[in-house]
Amino acid sequence: MKKGEVIDLVNRDLGDEHAATLRYLIHGYLEGEDTPIGASLLSRAREEMWHMHWLGMIVGQLGAEPNLVPAAYPYDPTNRVTIFKSYVEYEEKLIPHYNGEADRVDDPHIKRVLQREAWESAIHARKFQRILDKLSPEEAKGRPGGEAKLPKEFLDKLQKEIASKYTEMLQHIRYSWVFQKEGILGWQLMDQAMEKMKQLAHFAEDVAGDGIPPNFKQGQVDTSVTIGLALKKALEDVQNAREGHLGFHKDGEVKKHPGLVINLDLTVQQEEYQAAEIKDWTKNK
Ligand SMILES: [Fe+2]
Ligand SMILES: [Fe+2]
């Protein structure tokens, strides 16, 4: 298979894995990470992130631009039975899809990754089937989420935080894929991407805890092709995010949520740390 075809194929799969990550994350947060169904979904979401990561690394290795647009994840939202049936169906369809692709590519690493995506999708289908089999009558007829109790304005602010941290996180993950040949810097960027995922989770959990699906709305992701420009943008973003969080901290509604206050304090300190680190890396670039 020609290089361009491999890139297109892997990039399409990247969009699918991204879609699965978001679907299981959102659903998992809505169920609550302290519930067996929620914990299981978040665990699947983490595995989908790995799937995304392997594909993104391949695109980066091939010197191409990774596709950061999630594909559609079709599912029937009527109740938990229809939702989990959709998930089983989605994962089962991926098995022949990935195996077929693996047969067509020549590179042994890419082949193995695609085969692994196939057999892990098979495991996912089985795990979702098990949830389906164990649903209580109550769970079966219900669906995740509910009526919001938080003031709309406050919810909108939290959704904005989710969107901007999600964008920052995608940008960093892209940097780590595209600049993987920069050695240790690629790892460091990946490390910061992971931290951003955790910060994103703080806000997403609060929104979902109120019964509302977190809105993973992607902003403009920087596509710098030189590491110097990328680091400059990363630094600006994290500094702006920190300023925004310091302002958010003063919001009257925030004060009513002690858990969020702690997470904001943590996030602000982590952002200071990240900015200092990036400044250091920039010195040598
Ligand atoms: Fe996957
Ligand atoms: Fe999966």
43-51 average pLDDT score: 97
Question: Residue 274 Cα, ligand 2 centroid: separation in angstroms?
Answer: 31
Q: What is the mean pLDDT of residues 17-41?
A: 96
How long is the chain? Answer: 285
Would you say residue 183 has pLDDT above 90?
no
Q: How far is the CA of 71 from the centre of ligand 1 (A)?
A: 13
Separation of 14 CA from ligand 1 center, angstroms? 9
Ligand 1 mean position to 171 CA, how many Å? Answer: 21
Give the pLDDT confidence score for residue 100 in this predicted structure: 98
pLDDT tens, 202-218?
999 999 999 999 999 99
| pLDDT the model gives residue 146 | 87
Q: Determine the Cα–Cα distance for residues 272 and 264; give it in Å rounded to an integer.
A: 12
The mean per-residue pLDDT over the stretch 158-172 comes to 94
Nearest ligand to residue 116 Cα: 1
pLDDT exceeds cutoff 70 at 49:
yes
Q: Compute the distance from residue 129 Cα to the ligand 2 centre, in Å.
A: 13
Range 197-234 burial, b when 16+ CB lie within 10 A, else e: bebbbbbbbbbbbbebebbbeeeebbebeebeebbbbb
pLDDT value, residue 109 = 98
Where exactly does CATH 1.20.1260.10 map onto the chain?
3-141, 152-283
**Would you say residue 284 has pLDDT above 80?**
no
Residue 84 has pLDDT above 70, yes or no: yes
pLDDT bracket for residue 148 (50, 70, 90): confident
What one-character DSSP code corresponds to residue 251?
-
Please state the rounded mean pLDDT for residues 64-92. Answer: 98
Q: What spacing in Å lies between the alpha carbon of 19 and ligand 1's midpoint?
A: 9
Please state, rounded to an integer, the average pLDDT across all residues of the chain.
Answer: 95
pLDDT at 123: 98
161 alpha carbon to ligand 2 midpoint, in Å? 27
In contact, 85 and 132? CB cutoff 8 Å: yes
Going from the Cα of 133 to the center of ligand 2, the distance in angstroms, rounded, reads 18
Q: Does domain 3-141 have CATH number 1.20.120.1730?
A: no
DSSP 8-state assignment for residue 225: S
Angstrom distance (rounded) from CA 108 to CA 90: 26
Q: Tell me which ligand sits closest to the C-alpha of residue 17.
A: 1
Please state which CATH number belongs to domain 152-283.
1.20.1260.10
Q: Residue 71 contacts by C-beta under 8 Å, 6 or more apart in sequence?
A: 12, 15, 16, 18, 19
Query: What residues sit around ligand 2, an ion, with C-beta below 5 angstroms?
Result: 91, 121, 124
Whole-angstrom distance, CA of residue 185 vs CA of residue 189? 6
Q: What is the predicted pLDDT for the residue at 85?
A: 98
Distance 46 CA to ligand 1 centre (A): 10
pLDDT score of 200 more than 80 = yes
Mean pLDDT, residues 236-241: 95
pLDDT(76) > 90:
yes
CA-to-CA distance for 35 and 107, rounded, in angstroms?
41
Give me the phi and psi of 241, to 5 degrees please. -60, -40
- CA–centroid distance, 9 to ligand 1, in Å, is 15
Between the alpha carbon of residue 57 and those of residues 123, 128, 143, 187, 282, the distances in Å are 23, 28, 36, 12, 23
Please check the confidence at residue 176 and state whether its pLDDT lies above 70: yes
One-character DSSP codes across 18-76: HHHHHHHHHHHHHH-TTSHHHHHHHHHHHHHHHHHHHHHHHHHHTT-PPP---------
Residues 253-276: tens digit of each pLDDT: 898 888 889 999 999 999 999 999
pLDDT at 285: 67
